[in-house]
Amino acid sequence: MRSAALERVVRSANTGRAEAGERCDLCAEPVPGDHRHLLDTAVREPRCCCRACSILFSREAASDGHYRLLPTRRTRLPDVPAGALGVPVGLAYVVVGDDGGVLAHYPSPVGATRWDVDPAAWRSVLDRVPALRELAPETEALLVNTARGAREHWLVPLDDCFRLVAVVRREWRGLSGGGTVWREIERFFTELTERR
């Protein structure tokens, strides 16, 4: 994901009102800070959208094309055996594709790094955590935080994952990330709240 798209997502999450220049990426209407996002499937980046455009893309037929409205649901999950997925780090998110393939991503100072998840390992995790069967393809993710002793597992909209990647890119210093990045990651997870 390009840095400009990441910064827009972070900016929109930090305020409840429209900022100067913050506009719908489809029709250019001003948007409030708590606006919805569309996934641009051609480039796999979030796009800001106003209320009218979000209503347009909330229809199922409209949401299967080039732009898909990202859901707003967040659900805290019980422990997920993420190690079985081959996740090499404690901070990652997993997305199911339209084709059933599963990609894991982990935030890094250069963006999100990704790898294919073994299908048998994913089926095993689904058997242990049936709520993951509800993941909407391409637009929702399993978000895992087991870094530095944390034990958090969430079902989240994909724009939350983009926000986390932006936080890591913005705050990372040196080889280990420095002290600020871990405080900001902790704040990110503290501010996640369940919503249906």
Q: Is the entire prediction scored with pTM above 0.85? A: no
Whole-number Å distance between alpha carbons of 44 and 17: 26
Q: How many C-beta atoms lie closer than 10 Å to residue 11's C-beta?
A: 16
pLDDT in tens, 21-62: 689 999 999 999 889 999 998 888 899 999 999 988 886 545
Read off the pLDDT band of 7 (50, 70, 90).
low
pLDDT in tens, 56-104: 888 654 556 788 999 999 999 998 988 888 877 889 999 999 999 999 9
- In order of 101, 135, 179, the CA distances from 119 in angstroms are 7, 15, 36
Whole-number Å distance between alpha carbons of 2 and 107: 13
